[in-house]
Chains A and B, each alone.
Chain A
Amino acid sequence: MYGLPFPEYLSAFREDLIGGFQRHMLLSVYVLVIATIVGVVLGMLVYRNKLASAAAIGSLAVWFTIPSIALFGIFVPIFGFGLGTGVPVITVYGLLPVLRNTIVGLNSVDAPTLDAARGIGMGRFRILWQIELPLAWPVILAGVRVSGQLIVGLVAIGAYVGVTGLGEQLFNALVNLGSVNTFNQALAGTLLVAVIALLLDAVFVLVRRFSTPKGIRV
């Protein structure tokens, strides 16, 4: 019923598991990078405008309320089975935390600091680049971190539309529920997804430490 003992399962299916782990991790990182770039750039474009900020955050929030399975289903007929659907859908999910934190972070810079920056003759772009962005950076990074966790989980669900990663393990376990090794599959898949999430988080702790300007490090 339970098939192999867990350690033996791991060694027997080592190559599958390692392959899944690698694909899952790389895909998560790629999607996160895209979501971060798009989210930060979008945030920089809209943060000064209340209406545009609200519109950007609002439309993504609506997207957020739709279950990912449903969206995958909607986009498969358009983009096809596999990464063509998986990557864009997951990226849009990943955008929200990044975008929201970018907008909030850029707007949370102290008014007197900005007044002084303008008053001594810094232009709008220079203020964004040299003052607002560095000061908002910890907040933006927190958004990217949340987004990373979200994406790792969504890549697993992406297996439903052919995004190959550890999700396959999980879905096989569900589909073959009750047959040999399903428990092992579920356990291995879950543990490895958790490992990716933790690894990513550890990277963020490091990035945060080395990229936060010293004067505002807490």
Chain B
Amino acid sequence: MSESTATTTTEGTTARSTGASRAAEAGGVPIVLDGVTKKYPGTDSAAVDDIHLDIAPGNIVMLVGPSGCGKTTTMRMINRLIEPTSGRILIDGEDVLSLNDVKLRRTIGYVIQQIGLFPHLTIEQNVAMVPNLVGWDKKRTASRVEELLGVVGLDPGEFAHRYPRQLSGGQQQRVGVARALAADPPIMLMDEPFGAVDPITRTKLQDEFLDLQRRLRKTIVFVTHDFDEAVKMGDMIAVLDKGSRIAQYASPEEILTSPADEFVTGFVGHGATLKRLQLERLDSIELKPASTAPPGVEPLPDRSTLHDVLDAMIADGQDAIPVTRDGEVVGTVTLVDLLDRVKELRAEADAKAGTTSPDSRPGPTPGTTADVDLAAGTGAEDQR
């Protein structure tokens, strides 16, 4: 675990080089859960039963599973809000159980669904709490608060001296994220952070957070019960069953294409093919010349996902959509190209999964439900 300190430094450099954040941001550090168990007295089965999890630095790991599966308990043991009954938790190679729990938590960002801002303190004071706890001087704290409010999209001049109740839910959670990031912790724990806001705000917060994370490269443990959110946000997903049994720990692509067992399949739910499209960016497709685009169709930016493209095609009733890069139209994406790409993805997935399913089967047509079969190599019987 200690060898990864080198990674941390390089990631820190990447963060600085974007120029978007003035302060040097520390990248993430690895987390290892080693046989961690939590058993509450008077209960027969453990809430968390012997979980082993290796979390690479700079990754977002999604803990996803049905309610009561122990995902939140697992997360809360990392910053010792809940003390494990047995097992070891190593952060950057150091056993957290050997550290002072209060001081440990100051080095770990913490964001929860109910936000939990301090209502009697201003936004500025809320965000400054951890820097104050770790003893930053006033000037450094003040400039950090100002910077962070900007980073999470709140104008410091307008918001710094307001109180939490004067903000909307979405704005409050931005402050919640800023508070967690304040003292630049290498690790963040997030418990359904965007679960309580409306769907539009949620999508926006997710997108912005992903942008932010691309720069910060924190190690993030993110709890959700929403598989779609897990697919969207995660570098890795741990699908958890009762007692935090890890049903599968893999990349979103792999879980969508080859779910490990019935439980994962059930959890992935219907429409795995479509979900898979959310992971693929438009720039993975070779574009047709811009001139072939039908007139009067709203263009999409090249950062869009294939899911967005398909959605727009269906919505507009078009089989070709112009694509823009930095506002300039650079080409056209067609439905045929999109389907070809889906076929490629399936072939890659099959090759990876080592299955023998034929590559020749037709790609899924939009509107039909290919579902999990894209992956599993179970054949294409249910193509209609």
Interface of A toward B, CB cutoff 8 Å: 110, 112-123, 126, 131, 134-135, 213-216
Query: Pick the contact of A112 from B103, B112, B120, B121 — CB < 8 Å?
Result: B112
Distance of A214 Cα from B179 Cα, bound (Å): 20
Residues of chain B with a CB closer than 8 A to A112's CB: 112, 114-116
A213/B130 contact (C-beta < 8 A), A112-B114, A115-B112, A122-B102 known:
no
Cβ-defined contact, A116 with B115, below 8 A: yes
CB of A125, distance to nearest CB on chain B (Å): 10
Cβ-defined contact, B133 with A121, below 8 A: yes
Query: Pick the contact of A115 from B116, B121, B180 — CB < 8 Å?
Result: B116
Size class of the contact patch on chain B: 20 to 34
Residues of chain B with a CB closer than 8 A to A134's CB: 120
Cβ-defined contact, A115 with B130, below 8 A: no
Cβ-defined contact, A120 with B112, below 8 A: no
Distance of A214 Cα from B129 Cα, bound (Å): 18
Cβ-defined contact, B81 with A121, below 8 A: no
Between-chain CB contacts (< 8 Å), 17 pairs? A110-B114, A110-B119, A113-B116, A114-B116, A116-B110, A116-B117, A117-B116, A117-B118, A119-B116, A120-B106, A120-B129, A121-B103, A122-B102, A122-B129, A135-B120, A213-B121, A216-B120
Chain B 165-185, CB-CB to A under 8 Å as 1, else 0, gives 100000000001001100000
Residues of chain B with a CB closer than 8 A to A115's CB: 81, 112, 114, 116
CB of B329, distance to nearest CB on chain A (Å): 46
Cβ-defined contact, A120 with B110, below 8 A: yes
Is B224 part of the contact surface with A, judged by Cβ < 8 Å? no
Query: Pick the contact of A116 from B112, B120, B133 — CB < 8 Å?
Result: B112
Listed residue (B108, B121, B122, B189) with the most chain A CB atoms within 10 angstroms of its CB: B121
Cβ-defined contact, A119 with B120, below 8 A: no
Is B79 part of the contact surface with A, judged by Cβ < 8 Å? yes
Cβ-defined contact, B130 with A121, below 8 A: yes
Q: Which of B98-157 contact A (CB under 8 A)?
A: 102-110, 112, 114-122, 129-130, 133
CB of A55, distance to nearest CB on chain B (Å): 24
Residues of chain A with a CB closer than 8 A to B122's CB: 215
CB of B355, distance to nearest CB on chain A (Å): 44
Cβ-defined contact, B119 with A121, below 8 A: no
A110/B116 contact (C-beta < 8 A), A115-B81, A119-B110 known:
yes
CB of A215, distance to nearest CB on chain B (Å): 4
Number of A-B pairs whose CB atoms are under 8 Å? 74
Distance of A42 Cα from B120 Cα, bound (Å): 24
Cβ-defined contact, B115 with A118, below 8 A: no
A215/B165 contact (C-beta < 8 A), A112-B112, A115-B116, A116-B116 known:
yes
Listed residue (B102, B109, B110, B120) with the most chain A CB atoms within 10 angstroms of its CB: B120
CB of A128, distance to nearest CB on chain B (Å): 13
Distance of A131 Cα from B118 Cα, bound (Å): 7
Residues of chain A with a CB closer than 8 A to B108's CB: 121
A122/B133 contact (C-beta < 8 A), A117-B116, A215-B164 known:
yes
Residues of chain A with a CB closer than 8 A to B120's CB: 134-135, 213-216
Is B163 part of the contact surface with A, judged by Cβ < 8 Å? yes
Residues of chain B with a CB closer than 8 A to A131's CB: 118
Residues of chain B with a CB closer than 8 A to A113's CB: 116-119
Closest to B106 in A: A121
Closest to A212 in B: B120
Residues of chain A with a CB closer than 8 A to B176's CB: 116
Closest to B101 in A: A121
CB of B198, distance to nearest CB on chain A (Å): 19
A118/B81 contact (C-beta < 8 A), A112-B112, A214-B163 known:
yes
A120/B180 contact (C-beta < 8 A), A115-B112, A215-B163 known:
yes
CB of A156, distance to nearest CB on chain B (Å): 38
Cβ-defined contact, A215 with B119, below 8 A: yes
Distance of A63 Cα from B55 Cα, bound (Å): 59
Chain B 209-228, CB-CB to A under 8 Å as 1, else 0, gives 00000000000000000000
Across the A-B interface, the 7 shortest Cβ-Cβ residue pairs: A116-B116, A121-B106, A112-B114, A119-B110, A215-B163, A213-B120, A121-B105
Residues of chain B with a CB closer than 8 A to A117's CB: 116, 118
Cβ-defined contact, A216 with B110, below 8 A: no
Residues of chain A with a CB closer than 8 A to B109's CB: 120
Cβ-defined contact, B121 with A215, below 8 A: yes
Besides A120-B109, A120-B110, A121-B106, 16 other CB < 8 A contacts? A112-B115, A114-B116, A115-B112, A116-B110, A116-B116, A116-B118, A118-B81, A119-B110, A119-B189, A120-B105, A120-B106, A121-B102, A121-B133, A134-B120, A214-B163, A215-B163
Cβ-defined contact, A120 with B179, below 8 A: yes
Distance of A216 Cα from B163 Cα, bound (Å): 9
Q: Which of B62-93 contact A (CB under 8 A)?
A: 79, 81
Residues of chain B with a CB closer than 8 A to A122's CB: 102, 129, 133
Residues of chain A with a CB closer than 8 A to B189's CB: 119
Closest to A116 in B: B116
Distance of A131 Cα from B62 Cα, bound (Å): 31
Distance of A185 Cα from B286 Cα, bound (Å): 102
Cβ-defined contact, B129 with A119, below 8 A: no
Query: Pick the contact of A119 from B112, B121, B164, B165 — CB < 8 Å?
Result: B112
